């Protein structure tokens, strides 16, 4: 039986273990939709292309398998680019497949013709157009491998409609793998530098800070007694989730960066965040990140996960200095400021963001998944909540991803409750994905911190220009709970702290996608340094 390019694509995805396509339909990908009928792969069609990419991103981060988004050409493709950027900065394994105008019409003014591969290249680990149906199998295999190898990240393929519709005669192409592993001699040098340090510290990049990669870091911590901090927040050294541990950065004398870029989030390694005498060790799969820097003592191009495992193995054969440094850092990471207790009030109206955290934490203690983005409310949530599974917007600083990522979390872990904490501005980006949640039976609980403003920008304006120079930040105190009810979900409005626990319990018990719309105090996000 002859197969079209679309058939080859779908068969290749299934063979690679892909069971979900996060998508929004369009002319140029209808052949792929048709090829999925009766096959062991499910389409999840969203209300916006960016949401489809965010869902693929969330899936990739939680499962460490590439999430796959399928978009149509031109404007559909462009709508997905923000999601690609979020995934790139979060180092999330993802494959974005975009329909494309026919190969035979390129350069002739075809419908929705743009150079999609070029448009995606700055926000992807790799991006190219599949030029022949015979290349589909090899290109798909290469793209999926690239997404997970070395530093994980998003890969994009543009798929001309005639390539998808043409019968395939055969396949070709073989492809190379990722970065070479570091040799043991280099590992010994790393361990020597760490062993001579008085206050060594490990900083893990976004991908290294989750899943099996973070388990490898924890094994290295156990072997050496060196404290480690994950770095995935757009606020970098002011990450509220790290709490007071960020104050220890200036005390570290040797800092091991495992898959962590020496970028804006670390203030480029400069004082006063780090001491003048600090030295860095970099382990990265991307040679372009191993740039000359006066404070970098050693640079290794290697897969961070493999290198970390080898370091832990070799470290067990050494003796390491005992001291209070690790316990000091770990204690500060869980410590909260003394004035926090005074912010909690059972009778408060509007509700302080910490009161929201206080009501949500018991659910997280029972295994619920925590998803968050947004400005000030999102930072309060990240500072005030701890969870086994956590998804945030990541170093991109983009907002709007939380709700679709929450849907992916519920899909990946259907037996766990999923709480999505987001600001009212953020909720507006993808509120209609509650319709997607209803259609696919994904009962997440969205908790909207409603302060009727873009509060992060408001706070920046107050700090930078003065309280009488705020502009363009006001929103309506909209009843987002009623919007959710109109879609068929569960909605609750809360403006008193004492009503929060019951509202959250009822939202979970409803078994429906839910919105708990909380009127919150417009508090500036916490700062720990």
Q: How far is CA 295 from CA 67, 238, 271, 302, 447, in A?
A: 37, 21, 11, 20, 43
CB 333 within 8 A of CB 242: yes
What parts of the chain have a pLDDT lower than 70?
1, 169-184
Strands (E), 234-353: 254-258, 279-284, 296-301
Question: What does the pLDDT read at residue 1?
Answer: 56
From the number of C-beta atoms within 10 Å of its C-beta (0-12, 13-18, 19+), residue 264 rates as exposed
Question: What does the pLDDT read at residue 91?
Answer: 96
Question: What does the pLDDT read at residue 293?
Answer: 84
- 133 vs 396: CA distance, rounded Å: 35
Q: How far is CA 370 from the centre of its chain?
A: 12
- 5 vs 12: CA distance, rounded Å: 10
CB 380 within 8 A of CB 354: yes
**240-461-86 Cα angle (round to 5):** 50
Residue 478 tokens read as 């909209």
Question: What does the pLDDT read at residue 176?
Answer: 39
Produce one character per residue of 124-140: b if its CB has 16 or more CB atoms within 10 Å, e if not: bbbbbbbebbbbbbbbb
Q: What residues are paired with 476 via a beta bridge?
A: none
Residue 361 tokens read as 């934490």
Question: What does the pLDDT read at residue 374?
Answer: 78
From the number of C-beta atoms within 10 Å of its C-beta (0-12, 13-18, 19+), residue 434 rates as buried
Question: What does the pLDDT read at residue 2?
Answer: 72
Instruction: Tell me if the pTM is above 0.85.
Output: yes
Task: Kindly list the structural domains of the chain, giving each domain's residue range(s) and its CATH number in brackets, ordered by start.
Answer: 5-165 (3.40.50.970), 184-334 (3.40.50.1220), 338-519 (3.40.50.970)
Question: What does the pLDDT read at residue 183?
Answer: 62
Residues composing the chain: 529
Structure confidence by residue, pLDDT tens digits, 152-207: 999 999 999 999 999 886 444 433 344 445 566 788 999 999 999 999 999 999 99
Contacts of the segment 162-165: beta carbons below 8 A, 24+ positions apart: 162/102, 162/103, 162/104, 163/5, 163/103, 163/130, 163/131, 163/132, 163/133, 163/136, 164/4, 164/5, 164/6, 164/9, 164/28, 164/29, 164/31, 164/32, 164/99, 164/133, 165/4, 165/5, 165/6, 165/31
Residue 442, C-beta contacts closer than 8 angstroms, at least 6 positions apart: 407, 410, 411, 436, 513
């Amino acid at each position: 039986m002859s197969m079209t390019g679309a058939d080859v694509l779908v068969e290749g995805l299934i063979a690679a273990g892909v069971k979900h396509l996060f998508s929004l339909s369009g002319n140029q990908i209808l052949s792929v939709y048709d090829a999925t009928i009766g096959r062991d792969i499910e389409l999840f069609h969203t209300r916006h292309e960016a949401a489809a990419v965010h869902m693929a991103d969330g899936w990739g981060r939680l499962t460490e398998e590439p999430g796959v988004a399928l978009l149509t050409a031109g404007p559909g493709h462009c709508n997905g680019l923000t999601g690609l950027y979020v995934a790139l900065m979060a180092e999330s394994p993802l494959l974005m497949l975009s329909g494309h105008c026919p190969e035979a019409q390129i350069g002739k003014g075809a419908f929705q013709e743009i150079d999609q591969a070029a448009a995606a290249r700055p926000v992807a680990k790799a991006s190219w157009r599949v030029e022949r149906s015979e290349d589909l199998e090899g290109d798909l295999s290469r793209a999926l491998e690239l997404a997970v190898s070395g530093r994980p990240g998003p890969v994009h393929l543009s798929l001309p409609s005639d390539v998808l519709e043409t019968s395939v005669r055969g396949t070709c192409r073989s492809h190379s793998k990722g970065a070479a592993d570091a040799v043991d001699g280099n590992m010994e040098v790393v361990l020597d530098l760490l062993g001579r340090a008085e206050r060594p510290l490990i900083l893990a990049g976004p991908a290294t800070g989750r899943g099996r990669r973070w388990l490898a870091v924890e094994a290295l911590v156990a072997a050496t007694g060196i404290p480690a901090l994950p770095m995935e927040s757009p606020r970098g050294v002011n990450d509220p989730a790290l709490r007071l541990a960020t104050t220890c950065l200036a005390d570290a004398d040797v800092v091991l960066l495992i898959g962590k870029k020496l970028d804006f989030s670390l203030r480029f390694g400069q004082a006063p965040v780090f001491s003048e005498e600090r030295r860095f060790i970099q382990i990265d799969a991307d040679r372009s990140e191993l740039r000359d820097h006066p404070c970098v003592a050693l640079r290794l191009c290697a897969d961070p996960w493999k290198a970390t495992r080898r370091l832990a193995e070799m470290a067990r054969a050494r003796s390491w200095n005992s001291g209070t440094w690790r316990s000091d850092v770990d204690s500060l990471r869980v410590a909260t400021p003394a004035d926090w207790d005074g912010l909690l009030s059972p009778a408060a109206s509007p509700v302080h963001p910490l009161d929201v955290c206080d009501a949500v934490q018991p659910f997280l203690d029972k295994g619920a998944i925590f998803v968050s983005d947004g400005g000030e409310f999102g930072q309060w949530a990240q500072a005030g909540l701890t969870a086994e599974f956590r998804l945030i917007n990541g170093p991109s600083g983009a907002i709007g991803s939380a709700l679709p990522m929450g849907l992916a979390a519920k899909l990946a872990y259907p037996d766990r409750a999923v709480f999505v904490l987001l600001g009212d501005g953020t909720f507006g980006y993808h509120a209609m994905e509650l319709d997607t949640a209803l259609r696919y039976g994904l009962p997440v609980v969205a908790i909207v911190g409603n302060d009727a403003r873009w509060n992060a920008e408001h706070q920046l304006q107050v700090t930078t220009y003065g309280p009488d120079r705020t502009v363009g930040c006001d929103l309506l105190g909209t009843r987002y709970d009623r919007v959710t009810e109109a879609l068929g979900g569960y909605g609750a409005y809360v403006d008193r702290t004492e009503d929060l626990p019951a509202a959250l319990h009822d939202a979970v018990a409803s078994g429906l996608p839910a919105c708990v719309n909380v009127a919150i105090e417009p508090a500036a996000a916490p700062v720990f340094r």
